[in-house]
Structure 1
Amino acid sequence: MQSEQSTPQVPNRPTVREAFVRLMRDLGLDTVFGNPGSTELPMFRDFPKDFRYVLGLQESVVVGMADGYAQATRRAALVNLHSAAGVGHAMGNLFTAYKNQTPLIVTAGQQSRSILPFDPFLSAVQATDLPRPYVKWACEPARAEDVPLALLRAYHMAMQPPCGPVFLSIPADDWDRPSDWVQVRQVSHAIAPEPQAISRVAEALAESHRPLIVVGAGVDRDDAVDRVVQLAERHEAAVVAAPMSARCGFPERHRLFQGFLPAMREAIVETLAPHDLILVLGAPAFTYHVEGRGPHIPPTARLWQIVDDPQVAAWTPCGDSVVSSIGLAVDALLEGPGPRAQRVPPAPRPAVAPAPASEPMSAAFALQTLDAVRRPGDVVVEEAPGSRGTMQRCLPMAGAQSFYTMASGGLGHGMPAAVGIALARQRQRQAGRVICLIGDGSSLYSIQALYSAVQWGVPMSFVILNNRRYAALQDFAPVFGYGPDDKPAGTDLPGLDFVALAKGHGLAGRRVARAAELGPALRAAFEDAGPNLVEIVVN
């Protein structure tokens, strides 16, 4: 008689939802930024009570808030969008997150696998192709049970330098399928510099007579601002900000700070001309906005660039590059030799004269008043490209985590990013207020962010510079052959009422048109515990 064999007992397996949520918790992803659609509803059944769902009223706002939150926390943030239409709405700010090198995990609902062969309503055809090329990795797992494992890979891909968004398409019927628990694996995301290469940089810095350090957003992104200050002071090196830098890489009131490089080849070379060594940290060495000619650096200068993106290192047109995390590279330079000979420190940056209190107010007067009223610890999130040059003169930033803007040139990022940064700082119990400095035209790309600020009661102020036009376009028009009296079509914005728009979203607002009223209005706004809006009429 054949012996009877017992059937092995299979332990209960979690559902995809259970495994996904536990992995989210293990990774610290307890905040979801989203705008719900039908294909996402199964994901949020039995949503954990200790998680937060931050609603954005449009998908670009969702991605912008997540971008700001991830930048402020220096950790990946989780975004949930709706299949093809939702991802399409989000693409502008997804592009900005890509250029900002912001770690985002973007999940999007997909129609149920069982009906995908029939081209169903609300399905995403070739879902993973839609966000490319502005995501580092895109995946729709071949099997439902692979969804939690894909989340872990997505997290590490987003956090690996150069950081950036990744994308997961998840069919609606995956969430109740059986899966397996996924254990968090520790992965180092830092890149150490090659020892011989960084030694050559240190020697070149020590031997130079007039060094210049160009700082980019990567300095602050890698939490290296204080160490770069030490390096500049050790070598009495002049410091300038890279063109279009999206964060503050050096305190702008520091005696060694010399200003901002323009995004024009000839003007960059003219600024670099007095220096024999150019050390670029955390930025592309050359970001141009208009066509130029001639050399990229002065013929008597040597250029070294340190970036964490090998693609940037590859396309840089001249000089030598080291691929490394900025903090580790600066640590290595601080361990290297000091200057071989005594150096004369650069002359201080010229002071800016006070702007007169004209009416209507100038942008310079408005920003100098804002500078006088804001408090230590306040953070500026800017999207006022028509006033950026004025801001760089009149509103100096303090250094680490004091300033954010978009690296892409695309509008619609500033308002929601400011809300995300305020949410992060609110959770971290950081002192200071978030000031969203935004142009009237820029604000209308993502005005729905006002609603999210009200719902979460974040300590922030939207400060709108209302010049009733797309100033950046009108000011830039002569570059493309417009005469001094010519105005590009569609660049005037008359008749907008931002106080009414604020009220419609549940936000207190005030319009200021007289110079004498601006200081008191800003002080009152900044003393408020919650969000508010100040519209400043400028000429």
Structure 2
Amino acid sequence: MADTVTVRQATMALLRDCGMTTVFGNPGSTELGFLDRWPNDFRYVLGLQEASVVAMADGYARASGRAAFCNLHSAAGLGHALGNVFTAYRNQAPLVITAGQQSRSLLPRNPFLGATDAASFPKPYVKWSCEPARAEDVPGAIAHAFHVAMQRPFGPTFVSIPSDDWSAPTRPLPPRRTSQDMAPDPALLAECAAALAAARNPVLVIGPEVDAEAAGPAAVALAETLRAPVWASPFCSRIAFPEDHTLFAGFFAAAPPAISAALAPHDLVLVLGAPVFTFHVAGDCALFTSGTPLFQLSADGEAIAAAGTGTGIQGSLRLGLPALAALLVQSDRSPPPSRARPAAPAASAPISAEYLFHQLARLLPRAAVVVEEAPSHRPALQAHLPMRDWGGFYTMASGGLGYSLPAAVGIALAHPGRRIVAIIGDGSMMYSIQALWTAAQHALPLTIIVVNNSGYGAMRSFSRVMGTEGVPGIDLPGLDFVALAQGMGCPGLRVEGPKLLAEALAAALRHEGPMLVEVAVDAAIPTLYHKS
């Protein structure tokens, strides 16, 4: 074969061409052929468990806007990672995930570390999956996976690679480029613009796609042209709108009656970059049968298909929002009143979550990125720690715990030198705590705030809403997060009262490497949803 190279050489050249020279991994014997003679221009980021590895890659991809490469160990390693593969799918994070497979010659005999039908293992929560039929097809399969991952809506892809394929001969791949964005239908945009112009009291519901597509300024300009209030969609995994803006109305709870009540006064609903709607509790959403016009603009065809009401306009927000704005004129309607802001919470012992976030808001550097996984404290965070800047907030869209701490590591690697603040509940922290080791190894400027209410606070809240009593497995006594962090090379402090809180937060925010602050907070049951 003329002009041949090895599969490994062709793959390394492809990864360079695709900008995937940072590799997140947890290695094993089936990956040694790929890792052999590691090139100096590649960075290998080691995670100590595969779920952490995938979340690190997810955070890196979402923060950078580029696909991240993730290398796992066999089917067992992929199995460890599946929770965060599901989260990456819900986050629409562009990942190319590979896993080693046993040698092709051994596969007919069900060998140790061999996987039957490996390509099916992560389905349906990958956009595309493959185990190449021939060794020489591996680089082409990885290229295919990359281009699918980077088509909107972004998402993870998977390639299973037999361990003896890396040394096989193949041909180099030519460089390729593909378009990411699809323009929405101009006729439907014109219909939407006409309906907006005729509406007396329109409202916007904005989701994470706006930030993911760097379309935030265009969304703000559109809202200001319409002088319409803006709600953040339920479970919004990125910033939806600057939360100190006068048009920002607040955050939708994932409850049908609450959303219906908030939207009832409006005669048109425009949903940008979000489903219609993500619910967590059962109930009737009267909006769906009210006849209120609803328009939805999203790159996600599945979200449009699942809406069940309104007019769906599929296409890129980056292209669609300026095109829609160009069809509108400045509204002369009176802007809505600004939402009421909560009073500063008082210091108390034990510390309230509200007081913790209020103090953090005073100290947080403007350029800091907040990564959150404290579900029971989310209402307190939203009330007292407003997010103002695009690209400044991340959480998971799936509801699966164990994402945000390793994702914060990936985000820190994508933004060298930028302060990253991970706000993690004590229950969430124990899912992927080994990510602290990776943060320490890379000396990342990562502040970890463990909000410790000694249990699964969200479960306490749901127990109240659902009328259940005596539920086991909710309390988490006896965890020492400072000791756990120190054992992985990350210094830490524990705060039990308000007097030393600000001092501890300030110390962690200026520490050059990672530092953990464990804050013991009031274990009172939070209100996430009302029974009605």
Q: Could you say which TM-score interval applies, normalised by the shorter chain? A: over 0.9
Identify which of 277, 283, 289 aligns with 2:268: 277
* Equivalent runs, 1:186-205 vs 2, <5 Å: 186-205=177-196
1:314 to 305, 322, 328: 305
Distance, in Å, in 1 between the alignment partners of 2:237 and 2:471 is 27
Unmatched segments (≥5 aa) in structure 1: 1-9
Three-state SS of the structure 2 residue aligned to 1:312 is: helix
Question: 2:508 aligned with 1:522, yes or no?
Answer: no
* Cα distance in 2, alignment partners of residues 355 and 396 from structure 1: 15
Q: Which residue of 473, 478, 481 corresponds with 1:495?
A: 478
The residue correspondences of 1:395-414 to structure 2 (distance < 5 A) are 395-414=385-404
Partners in 2 of 1:11 and 1:85 — Cα distance?
A: 38
Q: Match of 2:351?
A: 361
2-side partners of 1:149 and 1:14: how far apart? Answer: 13
Stretch deviating more after TM superposition (326-335 or 438-447):
326-335
Shift of 1:479: 2.6
Find the counterpart in structure 2 of residue 439 from structure 1. 425
| Aligned ranges 1:235-274 → 2 under 5 Å | 235-274=226-265
- The whole-number CA distance in structure 1 between the counterparts of 2:285 and 2:296 is 20
CA–CA separation in structure 2 for the residues paired with 1:54 and 1:294: 45
Amino acid at match of 2:368: D
Q: CA deviation at 1:415?
A: 0.3
What is the deviation of 1:478?
2.4
Which letter maps to 1:301?
T
Local SS of the residue matching 1:41: helix
Mapped partners of 1:280, 1:475: distance in 2: 29
Residue 296 of structure 1 deviates from its aligned partner by: 3.2
Alignment partner of 1:106: what SS? strand
Q: CA deviation at 1:298?
A: 7.3
Equivalent residue, structure 2, for 1:504? 487
Q: Does 1:538 align with 2:525?
A: no
Q: Aligned runs of 1:173-252 on 2, under 5 Å?
A: 173-252=164-243
Letter in 1 for 2:38: F
SS at match of 2:169: coil
Other-structure match for 1:334: 325
Matched AA of 2:215 = A
Secondary structure at the aligned position of 1:154 is classed as helix
Partner Cα distance (1:74, 1:171) in 2 = 30
Q: CA deviation at 1:252?
A: 0.2
* Bigger-Rg structure (1/2): 1
CA contact (8 A) 2:264 2:287 kept: no
Match of 2:437 in 1: 451
> TM-score, normalised on structure 1?
0.95
Shift of 1:111: 0.4
Partner of 1:489, secondary structure, is coil
* Conserved? CA contact 2:260–2:285, under 8 Å: no
Aligned counterpart for 2:370 among listed residues 380, 385, 389: 380
How far apart, CA to CA, are the structure 2 residues paired with 1:416 and 1:129? 26
What are structure 2's unaligned runs of at least 5 residues? 523-532
State the shift of 1:489 in Å. Answer: 0.8
1:91 to 69, 75, 82: 82
Contact kept, 8 Å, 2:3 with 2:171, in 1: the verdict is no
How far, CA to CA, are the matches of 1:125 and 1:520 in structure 2? 55
Deviation at 1:522, TM superposition (A): 0.8
In the other structure, the counterpart of 1:143 is 134
Answer yes or no: is 1:425 the counterpart of 2:415.
Answer: yes
Q: Percent identity?
A: 50
1:18 to partner: Cα distance: 0.4
Q: Distance in 2 between matches of 1:182 and 1:405?
A: 36
Of stretches 237-246 and 519-528 in structure 1, the one that deviates more from structure 2 is 519-528
The one-letter amino acid of 1:400's match is W
**Aligned counterpart, 1:17:** 8
Mapped to 2, the partners of 1:251 and 1:48 lie a distance apart of 42
Amino acid at match of 1:529: E
Aligned to 2:312, the other structure's residue is in SS state: strand
1:106 and 2:97 matched? yes
Correspondence for 2:459:
473
Counterpart AA for 1:461:
T
**2: CA distance, partners of 1:82 / 1:473:** 34
Which letter maps to 2:466? F
User: What's the TM-score, normalizing by structure 2?
Assistant: 0.97
Q: What is the CA deviation profile of residues 298-328 of structure 1, one whole-angstrom value per residue up to 9, with x for unaligned ones?
A: 7262110111111111111111110011111
Moved more, 345-354 or 486-495: 486-495
Give the whole-Å Cα distance in 2 for the aligned partners of 1:202 and 1:186. Answer: 33
- C-alpha separation between the residues in 1 aligned to 2:53 and 2:327? 44
